[in-house]
Amino acid sequence: MPRTAWSATDQAPQRDEEQRLRELGYQPVLARRMGGFGNFAISFSVISILSGCMTLYGFGLNTGGPAVMLWGWAGVGIFVLFVGLALAEVTSAYPTSGALYYMADRLGGRTWGWYTGWLNLLGLLGAIAAIDYGAALFTGALLNLQWGFDPTPGSTMVVFICILLLHAVLNLFGVRLVSVLNSISVWWHLAGVAVIVGALVIVPSHHRSPEFVFTEFVNDTGWSNPVYVAAIGLLLAQYTFSGYDASAHLSEETSNASVSAARGIVRAIWVSWIAGFVLLAGLTFAIQDYAGTQNSETGVPPAQILLDALGTGGATALLLLVIVAQLFCGNAEVAAASRMVFAFSRDNALPGSALWRRVSGRTQTPVLAVWLSVSVACLLALPSLYSATAYGAVTAINVIGITPAYAIPIFLKLRAGDRFVPGPWHLGRWSRPVGWVAVVWVAFVTVLFCLPQSAPVTVASMNYASIALAVVLVLATVWWFLARRSYGTPAAYGTSREQAEIAEGIV
């Protein structure tokens, strides 16, 4: 029986990653202090099943209910694994902090790289806002359970800003601390799922039947078509399965990155897939009052499940466990986004690029890029002070930016054919079929992200993802005409930019 390509790459020799980076055109300036486990851990932390699953669980209750949540998670996980495998292959060939946009630039040219970069950057910054604001919401639910505190938009914003500041400071200490925190995060998430599910299995005297958990369909969206509702319900899983490009963004700080970053992407997805299914099943079996959970006074349906099943004390303890996991997630996302800011600025793609690409001589960390990342995330969440639907818009900004950006380098790799030279981690003969499944899936879910999720469609219920996508593309186009003369990734080592593009068949 022939070995699969990705198992064969486990025997790939160690590479001189600093020399490889120079061959790609960049002088190493970041500290390469992250190991393979740390690289896997950052993507696993950003996916964060204890953040995504818990934050959007209420959405799942209304949009298809238990059946769509459980089977949707299983099905979406398979397709996301295809995307991860295809993206990992390209990451192995181009292990740089720029990640998706650098891959697109090399395989498709400057314009492809430019738009991929802006989509990726907006998605990463939107993710910081979505994750940390979600953590602030859960903190408000914890305060409500413990002290009867009624969180207002203003108090939630204060908590959100404090969380952003915490993550900025932690990221300023260098990648070694980030790596340690992410490694702790892996075990915290896995132990957290085990503790939550274990408590929900052992303590409550009443559980839902397997028939309810795996077949109950609930439609509280206002739409009458069950197929449409089920399709929209897939967004719980697809939103959670995002951010695994973090492994690629930390490539320049990872040992043996050509293999470790690729492995990190794939492992983060399949471990999250298994653990997330267990978490969703545990929560759903423990629902005591479906309508009460949907309309929880805490504002967070999973908190109501814990409260009904375990009492105030147990719910408070487990909610605290979830909040810490969300803090780990947000910290990892700040690390990934700041490296994207650094890399994009290194290629003169951002206003004020000379500032954002500066690296601390002491910690070898892009300090100003960290501060810019959290500042923009704060601005993205400010409308939540005035609109209850603004948080949904921030989530839309995250997913509509980052998800299409995953497919672009994969598509360009497929288009390049034999011109694409794979790295030591590759898919071999499975490269093209896996790649096409990934591209088609991303195209499908990008359309889903833009569809209205409840009826009737009003200003309050509108899905702002399509507007977010249009705004990003317009802004990127306007800035392209102002900055295109200065923007550009460096030529490969020993060649001019023009020679490199001719060799790649771009011009």
pLDDT in tens, 251-282: 998 999 999 999 999 999 999 999 999 999 99
pLDDT category, 389, cuts 50, 70, 90?
low
Instruction: Provide the sign of the torsion angle of the four alpha carbons 157, 162, 164, 165, taken in this order.
Output: positive
Query: Which residues lie closer than 8 Å to 239 by C-beta, 6 or more apart?
Result: 52, 56, 395, 398, 399
Comparison of pLDDT for 94 and 497, the residue scoring more: 94
275, 287, 289, 388 from 283: Cα distances, Å: 13, 7, 12, 26
Nearest to 211 by CA among 65, 403, 5, 105: 65
Q: Bigger pLDDT: 414 or 146?
A: 414
Q: What CA–CA distance (Å, rounded) separates 342 from 361?
A: 15
Residue found by looking up tokens 């052992």 in the block: 202
Q: How confident is the model at residue 75 (pLDDT cuts 50, 70, 90)?
A: very high
pLDDT at 15: 57
Looking at residue 503, its pLDDT comes to 34
Phi, psi of 254 (to 5 degrees): -115, 135
The 10s digit of each residue's pLDDT in 443-484 is: 999 888 888 888 888 777 777 777 777 887 898 899 898 888
Task: Report the distance separating Cα 86 and Cα 265, nearest Å.
Answer: 10
Which whole-number Å values give the CA distances from 299 to 58, 145, 408, in the listed order?
Answer: 9, 11, 37
- CB 218, CB 64: distance < 8 Å: yes
Q: Identify the DSSP state of 352.
A: T
Is residue 498 predicted with pLDDT exceeding 80? no
Residue 392 reports pLDDT greater than 90: no
pLDDT of residue 199 exceeding 90: yes
Lowest mean pLDDT among 51-60, 158-167, 446-455: 446-455
**pLDDT value of position 178:** 86
Cβ(496)–Cβ(99) under 8 Å? no
In this prediction, residue 502 carries a pLDDT of 34
Amino acid at 273: W
**In this predicted structure, what is the pLDDT of residue 374?**
95
Whether residue 33 has pLDDT greater than 70? yes
Q: In this predicted model, what pLDDT tens digit does every residue of 303-334 receive, in sequence order?
A: 899 999 999 889 889 989 999 999 999 999 99
Task: Report the SS3 class of residue 453.
Answer: coil
Taking a C-beta distance cutoff of 8 angstroms, is the pair 220, 293 a contact? Answer: no
Strand, helix or coil for residue 204: coil
Q: Which residue has the higher pLDDT, 162 or 381?
A: 162
Q: Note the pLDDT of residue 407.
A: 94
pLDDT at 298: 77
Output the DSSP codes for 46-110.
HHTHHHHHHHTHHHHHHEEHHHHHHHHHHHHHHHHHHHHHHHHHHHHH--STTTHHHHHHHHH-H
Give the model's confidence band at 393: pLDDT under 50 very low, under 70 low, under 90 confident, else very high. low
Helices marked H in 286-427 — which ranges?
A: 290-294, 301-346, 353-356, 367-381, 390-416
Q: Copy the structure tokens of residue 173.
A: 């200490």
* Residue pLDDT, tens place only, 102-140: 999 999 999 999 999 998 888 888 889 888 998 998 898
Confidence of residue 8 (pLDDT cuts 50, 70, 90): very low
pLDDT of 147 > 60? The answer is: yes
Q: Based on the number of CB atoms within 10 Å of its own CB, is 447 exposed (0-12), middle (13-18) or buried (19 or more)? A: exposed
Q: Is pLDDT above 50 for 68?
A: yes
Mean pLDDT of 181-185: 91
Tell me the average pLDDT across 159-164.
Answer: 95
Could you write out the DSSP letters of every residue in 137-178?
HHHHHHHHHHH-----HHHHHHHHHHHHHHHHHHHHT-HHHH
| Whole-number Å distance between alpha carbons of 334 and 171 | 7
